[in-house]
A and B are shown apart, each in its own frame.
Chain A
Amino acid sequence: DARVTQTPRHKVTEMGQEVTMRCQPILGHNTVFWYRQTMMQGLELLAYFRNRAPLDDSGMPKDRFSAEMPDATLATLKIQPSEPRDSAVYFCASGLSFGTETQYFGPGTRLLVL
């Protein structure tokens, strides 16, 4: 049963620290999405990649957030420096871009910035 995996599942850090979240998409999927979920804003798309190339990161605060795909099996989302307002659940999702639109979500990383 293929699944998207995310690490860590939970992260508590102090303001100003760097946070790195990792995602392993389903093998063979060529599109990867990063979302942020909060009570106030709901689900927000931060960035997405196709064939490891960033296609849209307009939803991401550029000054502190960065997203990369070093290889086809790993996507990373970094926050540096972190702020309390970054506290949220961050989801990674993967899919196939050629006409199959279903996105498969990972379990999320729950981030708390103190």
Chain B
Amino acid sequence: GDSVTQMEGPVTLSEEAFLTINCTYTATGYPSLFWYVQYPGEGLQLLLKATKADDKGSNKGFEATYRKETTSFHLEKGSVQVSDSAVYFCALSELSGGSNYKLTFGKGTLLTVNP
């Protein structure tokens, strides 16, 4: 079945450092790819997404490019802030019978940014 593998954390960075969180996937079809973020005590929020190969999703300074040849969707940010401290989830979405979509999540990566 479909699966998502993301780098294990925790990741600890200083403010203004460069961030990369690796994500690779296995899917039978042509999934859409997502990054969700979970701040402490809250539910998940969509951070960015890409729906086809070579698409780049971006939001709040974060970027990720859909790489079909390497089945990857790595999350990057050039300069992290303390407020970016959260758990980041990579996910894929594929049709599951008819027109129904299901999300498959990675295990999450905890990011802590220190001032």
Q: Chain A interface secondary structure, helix, strand, loop or mixed?
A: strand
How many A-B contacts are there with CB distance less than 8 Å? Answer: 55
Does the CB pair A107–B100 fall under 8 Å? Answer: no
B29 CB to nearest A CB, Å: 13
Residue in contact with A43 in the complex, picked from B41, B89, B93, CB distance below 8 Å: B89
In whole angstroms, how far apart are the Cα atoms of A103 and B44 in the complex?
9
The interface residues of chain B, by DSSP majority, are classed as strand
Report the minimum CB–CB distance from A39 to chain B (whole Å).
10
Let me know if A43 and B49 touch, CB within 8 A: no
Cross-chain contact B105 with A108 (CB below 8 angstroms): no
Q: Chain B: how many interface residues by the 8 Å CB criterion? A: 23
Please tell me if B99 contacts chain A, counting CB pairs below 8 Å.
Answer: yes
Point out residues on A near B: beta carbons under 8 Å. 4, 31, 33, 42-43, 45, 48, 50, 55-56, 91, 93, 95, 97-99, 101-108
